[in-house]
Amino acid sequence: MGFSVHSVALFASLLVVELALVVSGNLFLLSIVVTASVFVMGTRADFETLAKKYEDAGHPAGPSGSVVGASGVSHSFAFVVSSTTGGVDVVSDTALSVSEVDETKVLGFFAKVYDVKPRAAVLCVSPRLNPGAADLARQYGLTVIENDKPRELVGMLGKTIDKILGL
């Protein structure tokens, strides 16, 4: 048995290490993806700034929001804007990958959205959805924001929420 580092790459805030592993003469490739905590901390600060903007405009909002759905299950979202009348206006989540994001992320987000029933749901994706995932998102009525630079997604989310809320 032996192994060697096949490649190391840094994509935005994701570190990808590919290992070539040889076991009994068979070659296996193993990819390890690590999310950098600097990205998460920076994004949290960006979400907090965005939340303050909506709070100042009279719309309760916050990063890492938890919303109880019709089923009684509590669902976590990256960002939530609550309605002034007690419901939920907008929920948002992020889906980051070193390659295209697949259908499982869209399905998971949709399940939470279906239970919570917000006015609008926004999935922030980097770099992009694969064609099957994009088709599912359209069928489910989800708004999708895509950008190769994850750091730019929060600003794009703000512009999208502004349109949804009519600000």
Residue 73: is its pLDDT beyond 80?
yes
Q: Where are the domains of the chain?
A: 2-35, 39-165
What's the predicted TM-score (pTM) here? 0.74
CATH architecture of 39-165: 3-Layer(aba) Sandwich (3.40)
Q: Is the peptide bond before 150 cis (omega within 30 degrees of 0)?
A: no
> Tens of pLDDT along 109-137?
999 999 999 999 999 999 999 999 999 99
Q: What is the pLDDT of residue 55?
A: 93
Which secondary-structure segment (H or E) carries 112?
helix 103-116
Instruction: Please answer whether residues 30 and 21 qualify as being in contact, where contact means their C-beta atoms are separated by less than 8 angstroms.
Output: yes
Summarised one tens digit per residue, pLDDT across range 21-39 is 566 666 666 656 555 444 4
